[in-house]
Amino acid sequence: MSRPVKQNFIRPSHIEGFPVGPQFTAGHLADTNAGWRTFRPVVNHDTCIYCLRCYLVCPDGTIFKDNGKIAVDYDYCKGCGVCAHECPKNAIEMVKEQL
Amino acid sequence: MSSANTLTRITPKNITDQEFFYGHKACAGCGGSLAVRLALKVLGERTYAAFPAGCMAAVGFIYPQMAFTNNAIITTFPGVASMASGIAVGAKALGIQNFKTVAFAGDGGTADIGLQALSGMIDRGDDVLYICYDNEAYMNTGIQKSGLTPFGTQTTTTPAGKNIHGSKTQKKNLFEIIAAHDIPYAATASIGYPQDYIDKVQKAAQVKGPAFIHVYASCPTGWGTPTETSVEIAKEAVDCGLFFLAEYENGDYRLTRNPKQFASVADYLKKQGRFKHLSDADIASIEAHRDHKWERMRRMWNHQ
Amino acid sequence: MSKKREFISGDEAVAIGVKLSRPHVIAAYPITPQTITVERLSEMVERGELNAEYMHVESEHSAISAAMGASAVGARTFTASSSQGLLYMTEGLHYASGGRFPVVMMNANRSVALPWSIYGDQRDSLSLLDSGWIQVYVEDAQEALDMMIQAFRIAEHPDVLTPMMVNLDGFILTHTYEIVEIPEQSQVDAFLPPFQTPNKMCFNNPKNMGFSSQPNDNTEFKYQQNLAVLNAVKVLEQADTDFATMFGRKYNGMVDEYQSADAEVLLVTLGSVTGTVRDVVDEMRAEGHKVGVIKIRYMRPFPEEQLQSLTAKAKAIGVLEKDISFGYEGTVYTNVNSALAKVGNTVPKLNFVGGLGGRDISKADIRNMFLKLQRVAAGEAYKTVDFFNLNVETNE
């Protein structure tokens, strides 16, 4: 897996279940960031030229290559809009999230 | 460094799909997190990464949310370079092979409180790549002035008022302070020029010994810029000449980008809340400082 | 097998103890009176006797920081400091204990500025009792050497994983020469297993270390840290026993005593002054005085129960320490008094404060303390804190 996914974390109920000191499994995600987003990037695959500019500049690394197409991990995209702003073909639209 | 020339250039097409900094709680559009993300993708999974107390530490390691998929550690604020040194030396002493140690620190963690430890790390020749992501203030604590805050910047400790127009001092000349150690490799970069940054990280990673990259990294929260312009504004800083792209290698300085003509400083500044207050005279003085610096760099340094 | 003996200083004994413990990384910054230790270690590395990386750090802050970095990848690490240097490390001391990095440190006990003084007292390490380190205080060069070896075993024990500070009095121990028995490397190797911990950054099982905790979890980590230091009690006692079996020297764990069983008055001591007190005990015993001494070896963990039982029969107790917490009393006294108060020991307890900034504590001083304790036991009024060897008149 190239990106970590949310784990089902159960807080230890006994002190012996705690990590020994502040160290824990790398890449262990107990939470998503989706709730931060007010706009979501939506890729128009007809206009996308797969230049990978959006993949390159995403501060959260949530844009990924999916069998030759650009895809977005909406669990962790914060909706900053850098991808859409940097897209040379305006192939990404920032669409308001429906609450 | 000759081996760097024979490496396959890392580009968005061939860079690893693996993400090493993921699910973190940095602000949307954080330039620092992009600098960390790209560097780790270049360096790969056999990397120890050290972060002092600061934004990346605060957003990346909140138990039980661990945002680094590689080995990573928070260090004391002044101690990132020395702890990274200890990691590199300790791993070597244990006979561990084929790994890289990288330290990431902000402008305050590098040019102010961490400078002494960084100087020691370079002096010892420890095999550590140190990357300073410069967002020009102490952002994690709420946008206070650092040694790399430019003249005229409004921060929470350099308020812009009638009497004082923000920061009264210029940025420390960090790149040349580091180069003056005769470090094997140092470079400046900007997340506005991400391929150039990747190239420099790739080159620095080949150095067996200390290497340093000063990467300009926007902070929409601290700068008062829209989140979507984070990469663009970091590019404009370079295009208007307030930040420069350069390398120091084998004792020589080289401008890796030498704009024929600078874009407008005023346009760059006026897009940002932190500079909104600046007068025409302030801007003229910032331009004069830029011109003086560039005159010297062009005279003294190699360039095209 | 004939035993190898050398005429060496306390600093040199520390260096030999460290060498025998086979550390991977040494990171230290020079400060008087610790310097000879780091010079000798550097020479051992140069000669190839010690296969360790010696890091020339630019400060004590970086010394502890580098040591923690090396420890975080599983390396055995040593640092050494004193006084101002130890205080400059303070942030890292708390960091190392909280991070559970079992770094071992030698601290040459020295006065803390201002005024400047390179000479000994114990205000440097005692001011850091709350930093989470195990603290042991040694009495002579042999114990200094032996405790370096024990310190790695105690600190690195899986139930402990806590850094440990071995304290020896500046100049009185660091620079005084004694005949010291040098343990065999093979025996040290048998006593001290290699450092192994799952709590490290490695590439098979990557870790994120030194993380932040929310209020919901922070107390649990601190509870666990407290437990680790308490766990050290059993571990250090076992180390003491095993060390005695292998090397023939026993230090009696957290406290040692001399002639305390039937003593009417007792002095409680810390560090090298104990030797002088023993001499005075012998002299006064010969004259018929029932006096005795209890030597605290470990300040953390603290020998609460041992002190409670060893002092149970005394009619007056004095705590002799090279320390004062300004505006109150000496820290050793505070700790001892707290332990005794818990068992309702209400006999007079005096705090003899002296030996500051390298001032000699003489046999006459100690005799006067015992005599004063006898008078107090007989009902004489007293003040708790007694700056016993002031060179001037005061308004008290």
**Could A21 and C227 be called an inter-chain contact, meaning their C-beta atoms sit closer than 8 Å?**
no
Q: B66: distance to nearest CA of chain A, Å?
A: 5
Same domain? C309 vs C375:
yes
Q: What's the average model confidence in pLDDT over C208-218? A: 97
Question: Residue B169 CB: number of other CB atoms within 10 A?
Answer: 13
How far apart are the C-alpha atoms of C78 and C80, rounded to whole Å? Answer: 7
Contacts of A58 in chain B (CB under 8 A): 34, 37
Q: In what order do the strands lie in the sheet with C349-353?
A: C255-258, C291-296, C265-270, C316-321, C349-353, C385-387
The pLDDT of residue B5: 57
Q: A56: distance to nearest CA of chain B, Å?
A: 6
Contacts of C174 (CB under 8 A, 6+ apart): C9, C10, C11, C33, C34, C36, C37, C108, C168
Q: What is the domain extent for residue B198? A: 2-300
The domain spanning residue B219 has which CATH number? 3.40.50.970
Question: Residue C30 CB: number of other CB atoms within 10 A?
Answer: 17
CATH number of the A33-96 domain? 3.30.70.20
Q: What's the average model confidence in pLDDT over B27-50? A: 98
Total domain count, chain C: 2
Same domain? C61 vs C183:
yes
Count how many residues are written for chain B. Answer: 304
3-class SS of residue C96: helix
Contacts of B12 in chain A (CB under 8 A): 52-53, 55-56
Asked if residue C394 is part of any domain, the answer here is no
Same domain? C241 vs C260:
no
Q: How many CA within 13 A on the CB side of residue B93?
A: 30
3-class SS of residue C350: strand
Q: A14: distance to nearest CA of chain B, Å?
A: 16
Q: Which chains share 3+ C-beta pairs under 8 angstroms with C? A: A, B
pLDDT at B161 over 90: yes
Asked if residue C212 is part of any domain, the answer here is yes
Same domain? C63 vs C178:
yes
Of A4, A56, A64, Cβ closest to residue B194: A56
pLDDT at B183 over 80: yes
Contacts of C211 in chain B (CB under 8 A): 61-63, 66, 74
Same domain? C209 vs C92:
yes
Listed by start position, the domains of chain A span 33-96
Same domain? C232 vs C273:
no
Asked if residue C395 is part of any domain, the answer here is no
pLDDT > 90 fraction of chain C, expressed in percent and rounded: 98
Q: If 0-12 CB within 10 Å is exposed, 13-18 middle and 19+ buried, where does residue C394 land?
A: exposed
Phi, psi of B248 (to 5 degrees): -125, 120
Total domain count, chain B: 1
Residue C296 forms beta bridges with which residues? Answer: C255, C270
Contact B48, C68 (CB under 8 A): no
Q: What's the average model confidence in pLDDT over C243-256? A: 97
pLDDT at B285 over 90: yes
User: What ipTM, to 2 d.p.?
Assistant: 0.97
**Could B120 and C217 be called an inter-chain contact, meaning their C-beta atoms sit closer than 8 Å?**
no
The pLDDT of residue C396: 86
Of C194, C222, C247, the residue at which a domain comes to its end is: C247
CA A79, chain centre distance (Å): 9
Same domain? C317 vs C219:
no
Q: What's the average model confidence in pLDDT over C82-110? A: 98
How far apart are the C-alpha atoms of C385 and C369, rounded to whole Å? Answer: 12
pLDDT at B1 over 50: no
**Could C24 and B69 be called an inter-chain contact, meaning their C-beta atoms sit closer than 8 Å?**
no
Find the residue in B nearest to C200 (Cα): B71
Does B160 contact chain C (CB < 8 Å)? no
C284 residue type, one letter: M
**Could C211 and A23 be called an inter-chain contact, meaning their C-beta atoms sit closer than 8 Å?**
yes
pLDDT digits (tens, 9 = 90+) for B120-158: 999 999 999 999 999 999 999 999 999 999 999 999 999
Of A2, A30, A56, Cβ closest to residue B18: A2
Q: What is the domain extent for residue C133? A: 4-247
- Residue C224 corresponds to which tokens in the numbers above? 């666990």
Q: B178: distance to nearest CA of chain C, Å?
A: 16
pLDDT digits (tens, 9 = 90+) for C320-343: 999 999 999 999 999 999 999 999
The domain spanning residue C10 has which CATH number? 3.40.50.970
Helices (H), C89-182: 90-98, 123-126, 141-156
Mean pLDDT across chain A, nearest whole number? 97
How does strand B246-249 pair with strand B252-255?
antiparallel
Contacts of C71 (CB under 8 A, 6+ apart): B86, B90, C77, C96, C101, C102, C103, C200
The pLDDT of residue C1: 55
Q: B13: distance to nearest CA of chain A, Å?
A: 7
The domain spanning residue C356 has which CATH number? 3.40.50.920
